[in-house]
Amino acid sequence: MKRTALASALAVASCFVTSTVADTLGLEVPYAASTPSIEATLGYPTGQKISSPEAIHDYFQELAKAHPDQVKLKYYGKTWEGRPLFFAIISSANNIANLDSFSEGMQQLADPRQTSAAEAEQLIQSMPASIWLSYGVHGNEISSPEAALLTAYHLLAAEDQATQTMLDNTMVFIDPLQNPDGRGRFVSRYYMTAGLEHSADRISAEHNEPWPSGRSNHYLFDMNRDWIALTQPEISGQVDALLDYYPLIFVDLHEMGGDTSYYFTPEARPYNPLITKTQREALWQIGENNAKWFDERGYQYFTREIFDAFYPGYGASWPLYHGSLAMTYEMASARGHKWRTKDGTILTYGDGVKRHFVASVATIESASQNRQQLFQNFWNYRSQAIRDGRGSDNRVRIIPGTDDAAAARKLAGLLVQHGVEVNQATESFKVCGNNYPAGSYIVDGAQPAQYMVRTLLDERIDMDQPFIDDQEERRANNLPDEIYDVTAWSLPLMFNVDIDACNSVPSVDKIAVDGRLIESGSVTNADAKLGYIVAWGDMNAGRFLTAALRAGLHVKQSDLAFKHVNGKTYPAGSLILTHAENESNLAAAVLELARESGAQVDGVDRSWVLEGPNFGSMNVNRVHAPNVAMAWDEPFSSLNAGHTRFVIEQQFNYPVTAIRTEQLARSNLSHYQVLILPALAGNFSHALGESGLANLKDWVQKGGVLITLGTATRWAVDNDLLASAREAAITDKEPGHGDENRVDGLLLETARDLAHYIQADEADPYWTAGILARGEVDQDHWLAAGVKPEVVSITVGNDIYRPLTIDNGRNIVNYAAADRVVASGYLWAENQQQLAHKPVLMWQPHGRGMLVSFTQEPTYRAYLDGMNLLLMNAIFGGSAHARPLR
Ligand SMILES: [Zn+2]
């Protein structure tokens, strides 16, 4: 049986959504009955229900079963909650039969060092173009995964010539659901709140998600910012798969506010300077073709006004630096079955499905029609990358790892995960006048991933000057700037690890590095008579500490550096484990922990110390395994709560108990030694109430370690827990006319004078979208044990605090002087002046306990590895230094 329109293929008679899909598409397309329809498989027509993650998986399995010669399902991992992550490859039977040689062909084309121009030409002539469509990275942006089902159905069932041509010319990769956990959370909550009729009212429970929304994944990450650090399996798995196939076009399909229309490429300013003119022209072409399809159907859209591609950590940015095209598409969200827009019309879920479907097919058509050009551009990009790298003054990057072995290994492994070739020297060498030890990592820029290398490693990537000039002009006119996300993300800065650049390639024996982020550690003098020392100062030692505590070992930590009789000097914070204080199996336990954590452990036969405290000194404290709690739920920022829990649980390997605000206010917290308050998104004082505040203060007095992050530090100041104050903007402005209604005459000579006059008398400092800032560390305090003299912190927003006076506490980390404070990114001149020497991290004792306050979020996006040691010291050092009545 043949059907003649999408409507009959998909819908029962009364289905408004699917009939309009067909009507609006205006395609007289015959559909094969042998392809399982969405309705037959899932029990409802497309757009009539928000499909669960399980239903989406079921449907793709059905398609694969029905079309084994045209569909391949590939699994790239599991979510934190155990849901499968997969994509489908759909093409003609002939292309799918040649999938392996296609992947090989793309690998060849991706590496012009291994492939001649003639071989490339041969590949370009013969291979299908590839397009990768990724749907639903934000779990509450619901229509795009449904459009993925429809796109797959259409490609497999449509029997018209146009679709057959597309399938002959293209390999279509469909990742229908990048964030199954978030969507699962949304769908379950949405149907729980629905009643007899679905509500279109924006104030209805259906349209207002409780904390945390379905946007994020299990650890509450916005995964559309994670394409730099690759911390989440949903993104790192996808990156692995992308590197297998190098799709020429990548589209990330989202939703935005319900009162908008549809957004597609070209993107907004500022452009990342590493995106080429050719790429931007090709993106423009795709936008124009999408517009043709949208015009034919009367769909509204806009381009260029928002959604820039400057920050490379978006899904729609990452593939650009490998030479592909990448774009974001955004549809107005019904955020449920229907939504009444500001102008009174009803936007339906199906409207979103249709538009994302049309945009998907339009883009496949672009890939099909521009096949050769896309290949040629990809080949040229990667050839150019090699040439640029070879000719660069910074051709070779060297990560010696002598300052932080754990961070160096993680950086090298992460680069490999990004598709960068990294080698490790197996002997010492000298290049550009410097000596490097064996084990140093080497990245040669003469490789096709050189633009990815630059994106991730360059200290600065600048926005173009005309864009910056426009932003300064807007500020002068009391308008907000148009910077969409952070302006700095350099991995070596964020990891706070030394990296050198050199223009010549060292001649040294080396081996290729793999993508592991942790190198196994080892123990010297494993049968030591007295015990073991672990030098503090990197995450290898950090992971050793948490693992030792969880294993129930007796661990001591020295507040001061010491020189052991073995000749080595150990920094403050170094760990000491002795046989006398541990069970008999210590040696075996330490060996295992070293292997897993990456720590280098020194066995010692004697305790004798030449300089600094002995092991039995008052300056050597036992570290008890603290019970760590963190605030959870409103009014805290779900992002920061998630990032923080992730860093402690998955990077420190230490469990955290999440406690909702209401319980914090009224429960006995004496079971916990540490409580972390993540950044706030609302009013905690209100949520806590007076008795709740008293409860927390009492807990601190009795020995609790209270750690505030980012905007939670405002709450600590407002409630007299932290003797600092938040600053207003510095201004030379005369007070305005106040509430006087008759005042002296005033001359405003220029429009600028007027703009100056109308400013508020007292205002916050100007908002900063995000820079990396240098902080200077007070290394004499235990909170800074093992920390380098300088750290790099993110600085977002406009919180600037006064330093603590010496009678109240210590300022452990302060911003550097004005001329040095910006490590990377763009910062307004007056903020730069005002930030100088102001606190980043403060410590204030209270009774038997203490407050530790970070003025910014050290766990931001879980990519500021250089801040991790300070947070570890706050948690473990803090609980070791508090004096609770045990
Ligand atoms: Zn989104």
Q: What is the DSSP string of 181-246?
A: HHHHHHHHHHHHH--SS----TTSGGG-PPSSPTTS-TT---GGG-TTT--SHHHHHHHHHHHHH-
How many Å lie between the centroid of ligand 1 and the Cα of residue 12?
A: 31
CA 751 vs CA 477, 478, 757, 758, 802: distances in Å: 9, 12, 10, 11, 34
Residue 134 Cα, ligand 1 centroid: separation in angstroms? 11
Q: How far is the CA of 333 from the centre of ligand 1 (A)?
A: 10
pTM above 0.85, yes or no: yes
Mean pLDDT of 711-732: 96
Q: How many A from CA of 252 to the centre of ligand 1? A: 9
The residue count of the chain comes to 886
**What's the gap in Å between 162 CA and the centre of ligand 1?**
31
* CA angle 639–623–717, rounded 5-degree value: 45
Q: Which residue has the higher pLDDT, 112 or 761?
A: 112
Residues 13-22: b if buried by 16+ CB within 10 A, e if exposed? eebebbbbbb
pLDDT at residue 755, as a whole number: 87
> How close is the Cα of 693 to the center of ligand 1, in Å?
37
The pLDDT of 7-35, averaged and rounded, is 54
Out of 22-26, 282-286, 630-634, 706-710, least confident range: 22-26
Q: Is 292 exposed, middle or buried (0-12, 13-18, 19+ CB in 10 A)?
A: exposed
Mean pLDDT of the chain: 94
Ligand 1 centroid–CA 254 distance in Å is 4
Give the pLDDT score at 305: 86
User: Residue 741 has what pLDDT?
Assistant: 85
Residue 178 Cα, ligand 1 centroid: separation in angstroms?
Answer: 11
Distance of alpha carbon 394 from alpha carbon 885, whole angstroms:
57
Give the confidence band of 6 by pLDDT, cuts at 50, 70, 90.
very low
- Per-residue pLDDT, averaged over 699-723, amounts to 98
- Taking the centre of ligand 1 as the mean of its atom positions, its distance from the CA of residue 255, in whole angstroms, is 5
Tell me how far apart the alpha carbons of residues 260 and 335 are, in angstroms, rounded to a whole number.
13
Query: Where is average pLDDT lowest: 148-162, 669-683, 698-712, 752-766?
Result: 752-766
Instruction: Please state whether beta strands 674-677 and 628-632 pair in parallel, antiparallel, or not at all (unpaired).
Output: parallel
State the distance from the centre of ligand 1 to the C-alpha of 144, rounded, in angstroms.
10
Are 86 and 145 contacting, i.e. CB atoms less than 8 angstroms apart? no
* 689 Cα to the center of ligand 1, angstroms: 35
What is the 48 CA–ligand 1 centroid distance (Å)?
A: 22
CA of 138 from ligand 1 middle (Å) equals 5
Other beta carbons within 10 angstroms of residue 751's beta carbon come to: 10
Cα 237 to middle of ligand 1, angstroms: 19
- Among 87, 131, 129, 134, which Cα is nearest to 109's? 129
Q: Considering only CA atoms, which of 151, 105, 72 is closest in space to residue 248? A: 105
454 band by pLDDT with thresholds 50, 70 and 90: very high
Q: What is the mean pLDDT of residues 20-40?
A: 75
Average pLDDT over residues 594-600: 98
In this prediction, residue 237 carries a pLDDT of: 98
Residue 135 CA to ligand 1 center (angstroms) comes to 10
Tell how far the Cα of 279 is from the centroid of ligand 1, in angstroms. 23
- How many other β-carbons are positioned within 10 Å of the β-carbon of residue 459? 13
Q: What is the pLDDT of residue 95?
A: 98
Distance 23 CA to ligand 1 centre (A): 28
Query: Residue 3: pLDDT band by 50, 70, 90 thresholds?
Result: very low
Residue 17 CA to ligand 1 centre (angstroms): 23
Tokens of 527: 């049968």
* pLDDT for 23 beyond 70: no
Task: Output the pLDDT for position 306.
Answer: 83
Please tell me the distance between residue 213's alpha carbon and the centre of ligand 1 in angstroms. 12
**CA 145–ligand 1 middle distance (angstroms):** 12
Q: How far is the CA of 771 from the centre of ligand 1 (A)?
A: 23
Q: Is the pLDDT of residue 10 over 90?
A: no
- How many other C-beta atoms lie within 10 A of the C-beta of residue 142? 26
The pLDDT of 46-65, averaged and rounded, is 97
How far away, in angstroms, is 141 Cα from ligand 1 center?
6
| Residues 379-395, mean pLDDT to the nearest whole number | 97
pLDDT of residue 886: 58
pLDDT at 267 over 90: no
pLDDT at 25: 53
| Å from CA of 186 to ligand 1 middle | 14
CA neighbor of 542 nearest in space, from 875, 194, 47, 112: 875
Q: What is the mean pLDDT of residues 457-466?
A: 94
Range in 3-12, 105-114, 265-274 with the lowest mean pLDDT: 3-12
Cα of 392 to ligand 1 centre, how many Å?
Answer: 37
Q: Distance from the CA of 140 to the center of ligand 1, in angstroms?
A: 8
Going from the Cα of 485 to the center of ligand 1, the distance in angstroms, rounded, reads 14
Question: Residue 814 forms beta bridges with which residues?
Answer: 776, 839
Pairing of strands 674-677, 705-708: parallel
Mean pLDDT computed over 309-327: 95
pLDDT, tens only, 752-770: 889 889 888 889 999 999 9
**Ligand 1: centre distance to CA 262 (Å):** 13
What pLDDT score does 885 carry?
A: 67
Distance 639 CA to ligand 1 centre (A): 14
Asked whether the predicted pLDDT for residue 14 surpasses 60, the reply is: no
478 C-alpha to ligand 1 centroid (Å): 29
> For residue 26, what pLDDT is reported?
53
What H or E segment, with its residue span, contains residue 326? strand 325-332
**Is residue 4's pLDDT more than 80?**
no
What distance in angstroms lies between residue 15's CA and the mean position of ligand 1's atoms?
Answer: 28
What spacing in Å lies between the alpha carbon of 258 and ligand 1's midpoint?
13
pLDDT band at 7 (very low <50, low <70, confident <90, very high): very low
Task: Evaluate whether 639 touches 221 at the Cβ level (below 8 Å).
Answer: yes
Distance (angstroms) between ligand 1 centre and the Cα of 256 equals: 7
pLDDT value for 738: 82
- CA 446 to ligand 1 centroid distance, Å: 35
CA of 638 to the centre of ligand 1 (A): 16
What separation in Å is there between the alpha carbon of 510 and the centre of ligand 1?
42
Report the separation in Å between the CA atom of 873 and the middle of ligand 1, taken as the mean of its atom positions: 36
Give residue 843 CA to ligand 1 midpoint distance, Å.
38
Q: In angstroms, what is the span from residue 139 Cα to ligand 1's centroid?
A: 8
The CA–CA distances, whole Å, from 305 to 136, 253, 410, 484 equal 22, 17, 37, 11
* Cα 827 to middle of ligand 1, angstroms: 27
Please state, in angstroms and rounded to a whole number, the distance separating the CA atoms of residues 834 and 837: 8
Ligand 1 centre to CA of 419 (Å) is 25
- Taking the centre of ligand 1 as the mean of its atom positions, its distance from the CA of residue 235, in whole angstroms, is 14
216 alpha carbon – ligand 1 mean position (Å) = 10
Ligand 1 centre distance from Cα of residue 221 (Å) = 12
Using DSSP bridges, classify how beta strands 129-135 and 170-175 pair: parallel, antiparallel or unpaired.
Answer: parallel
Q: Residue 192, Cβ neighbours under 10 Å: how many?
A: 9
234 Cα: distance to centroid of ligand 1 (angstroms): 15
So what's the pLDDT on residue 27?
A: 62
